[in-house]
Structure 1
Amino acid sequence: MRTSLLICFLIFLSQSHGQELNLSTTDQGFLVTEGDKKVFFYQSATKSQNGKYPRAHYVHPLYGMDGHILTEDFPEDHPHHRGLFWAWHQVYIGDKRVGDSWDCSDFIWEVLPPKSKIFHEGMLEIRLRTMWKSPLWTDDKGAVIPFVMEDTRIRVFAQTDNYRIIDLETWLLALEENVRIGGSEDAKGYGGFSLRTVLPQDISFSSGDSPVAPKVEAVEALPWLKISGSLAKDGSAAGIVMLSYQPDEKGKEKWILRKEKSMQNIPFPGRDTVRISDSSPTSLKYRLIIYKGDLSTEKIEAIYKLGQN
């Protein structure tokens, strides 16, 4: 079933105007390109700002359709923010707190070499394995040991018309008993899949055909959200659509949105922690649509439905 749906999706993208997708590695990570266009850079090596806020396992820069950089890293207002990332304030093993992957404190991402393949001429698949570690969690000899194994699959689709699709799915498997993660310990509960983008003054948010106004706490909308504004290199219209495949029973999703000096977040699990199983991985699935000009609600809905399986 999943194979047939993927074939249908690739047929849907068969009108692609893009060129060959490629991955090139460096000592810092890897760059995905389409022809001579940069798509994104994935940071696998630990990076810091004068020794502060060490982080790895995130995407930056993320490029627009015209090559304009859409994301920020080490912004002055929140230097722990970084491009496209997924992280949590609360990380526990039993009652012991073992770092804060959101704030980049007492946390280590050990990223193993990526595996990639061209699944089809219009899609590049990258598989990553990342071991979660902390200097606060060691064996009886004092050696730092992993406590979560994270497997991540990124699928990059060739440009079609005025947009490109990037899929991200991650599976978390505990290597110790009673591992728990959670968002910020306040009413906002932010944590999980996040996007730190450039925010021009005319930035706006919508879901379906309705505008969405940011609030201090999370707002409810459809499981996809359109971010639009003068995000192209020449100041013209462009944007990003964030799509979540973890809606609630009403088919809705919670969103933490900010018009300035912050990130956009799909909070999971919220303020209360959830257990990460040591036998059945916790799965989280998201999709981005990078576009130039505009993208209709009908097109976004069609792309969302194609990603449901």
Structure 2
Amino acid sequence: MKKNTLSATFFLMLLIGFFSQSFAQKKYEIHVSAGAFDRSETVVSFYFPDSVEPGVYHLVSSSGDRPILQVDDSNRGWFMLHKLASGESREYELTATPIKSENHVSNKIDSTQITFLSNGRRVLSYYHGDNNPTELDERYKRGGYIHPVYSPNGTVLTAHLNPLHPHQSGIWSAWTKTEFEGRTPDFWNIHNNTGRVDQADSLRDAWKGPVHAGFHNRHFFKDLSAPDPVITVNEEWNLYVYRAPEDHSYQIFDIVSTQSVNTGKPLILPEYHYGGIGFRGNRQWDDPENTTFLTSDGLGREGNTTRPKWTHVGGVVDGELAGITVMDHPENFRYPQPVRIHPEEPYFVYAPMQLGEMRIEPGSPYSTRYRYVTYDGMPDPEKLTRLWNDYAYPPGVTVKVK
């Protein structure tokens, strides 16, 4: 028995040694094509054709460009493409040997919030625990939303627990007009006591890295209009916060939301003018004279119900001008999605149900993705369009094992 155990152990050690040596010697050729757009500080991602150990690596090109590659636990590689002109391409080589690197995008976690920083500057915080609504009643005690969001220079762009509209908290997810099992819960206006959205539990997963940091977390949509509260929708948020460019002219983060009904019944979303992943601006923007909207089509507040690629909202906070742009992705349902731009208040949401009834059916999750760009000063439409092109039509990547 002892001899068999030793033989098995020896064989396992040989096998591990073989695969470790094979992995260490494996090289990849990564071909990146700019496509139709000039690229500058562009987020690039791709999947490897076989298993690569999660970690940090160097990419090397003949031009001398050596970007840092971050490989996650989904076998996906990420790096920042410094510059590549439209129509051009570049080849990188990767030897699959991990390196040590500074976490340019980091996080700090306390009992209620996780805060992300890019090169030492705060980007946003997310409530993974409950807030503290000292000026309001217990209905507004909740988590599962983002606040504050910061400009690169540290101006706070969002509001929460605003006594005028305390149900609109930073960046949050909720449906307004719904039908479920014959009832009509409203998850947006929680003061109506028919529905609400809460974080499901503590953070499922959070990470930091040289290219991006982020988290995976879940929310529950609770129907309070039932005889006993019912969870109608399970939502998962995947948040990605990216390394800012060297000049700190903007900061970028993505939200990917996936919603699945929790029972064998669909959640019906009748035609309505708002609902989805909302944004509420700083309290100082409650003054409509201190707030501007701008869509990719050049419209202001009159852009309500139009279908822009991106929408800016901004204004002055404590004497500093700053703003944020929310970008729609071509893979989203009913893209380009219509928008709700309030005629006086600083809130905004992409609202695809403006075009007619929607349904989240059992076994068919509803997924959306949006990119957020923050900056100081006036919005630069040319730069925002370039960043949207990077998001909507990223560089092409092919990977070969050498």
| TM-score scaled by length of structure 2 | 0.63
Residues of 1 paired with 2:333 and 2:198: CA distance?
A: 33
| Residue aligning to 2:212 | 123
Q: Secondary structure at the residue paired with 2:189?
A: coil
Residues of 1 paired with 2:297 and 2:224: CA distance?
A: 47
Relative to structure 2, which stretch is displaced further, 71-80 or 244-253? 244-253
Residues of 1 paired with 2:108 and 2:391: CA distance?
A: 27
* Aligned partner letter, 1:151: E
Task: Please state how far the C-alpha of 1:273 moved relative to its aligned partner.
Answer: 4.1
Q: Which runs of 5+ in 1 are unaligned?
A: none
Once superposed, what is the RMSD of the aligned Cα atoms? Answer: 3.3
Q: Which runs of 5+ in 2 are unaligned?
A: 1-31, 33-43, 48-75, 85-101, 395-402
The correspondence for 1:41, drawn from 100, 107, 125, is: 125
When Rg is computed on C-alpha atoms for both structures, the one with the higher figure is 2
The correspondence for 2:189, drawn from 97, 100, 103, is: 103
How many residue pairs get matched?
Answer: 293
Task: Please state how far the C-alpha of 1:148 moved relative to its aligned partner.
Answer: 1.8
Is this contact kept in 1: 2:186–2:196, CA < 8 A?
Answer: yes
* Aligned partner letter, 1:212: G
The correspondence for 2:176, drawn from 83, 89, 110, is: 89
| Residue aligning to 1:241 | 325
> How much identity, in percent, do the aligned residues show?
19
Q: Secondary structure at the residue paired with 2:80?
A: helix
Q: How big is each residue's C-alpha offset from its partner over 1:34-63, in whole Å with a ceiling of 9 and x where there is no partner?
A: 354322221233444222334431111111
Residues of 1 paired with 2:140 and 2:356: CA distance?
A: 25
The correspondence for 1:290, drawn from 346, 370, 374, is: 374
Q: Determine which structure has the larger helix proportion and give its number.
A: 2
Is this contact kept in 2: 1:9–1:306, CA < 8 A?
Answer: no
Is this contact kept in 2: 1:65–1:290, CA < 8 A?
Answer: yes
Q: How big is each residue's C-alpha offset from its partner over 1:124-167, in whole Å with a ceiling of 9 and x where there is no partner?
A: 121112233334457xxx6x553322111111012223100110
| TM-score scaled by length of structure 1 | 0.81
Residues of 2 paired with 1:21 and 1:238: CA distance?
A: 22
The correspondence for 1:25, drawn from 109, 121, 133, is: 109
Map 1:224-303 → 2, pairs under 5 A? 224-231=310-317, 233=318, 235-245=319-329, 252-258=336-342, 260-270=344-354, 272-303=356-387
Residues of 2 paired with 1:236 and 1:109: CA distance?
A: 33
Q: How big is each residue's C-alpha offset from its partner over 1:153-186, in whole Å with a ceiling of 9 and x where there is no partner?
A: 1110122231001100100111212332537x76
* Aligned partner letter, 2:256: E
Residues of 2 paired with 1:299 and 1:19: CA distance?
A: 26
Task: Please state how far the C-alpha of 1:248 moved relative to its aligned partner.
Answer: 8.8
Change (3 A) 1:275 1:89: same
Residues of 2 paired with 1:148 and 1:53: CA distance?
A: 20
| Residue aligning to 1:132 | 221
Task: Please state how far the C-alpha of 1:108 moved relative to its aligned partner.
Answer: 4.5
Change (3 A) 1:275 1:21: same
Map 1:200-215 → 2, pairs under 5 A? 201-208=289-296, 210-214=298-302
| Residue aligning to 1:177 | 264
Residues of 1 paired with 2:293 and 2:231: CA distance?
A: 39
Residues of 2 paired with 1:125 and 1:211: CA distance?
A: 33
Is this contact kept in 1: 2:231–2:262, CA < 8 A?
Answer: yes
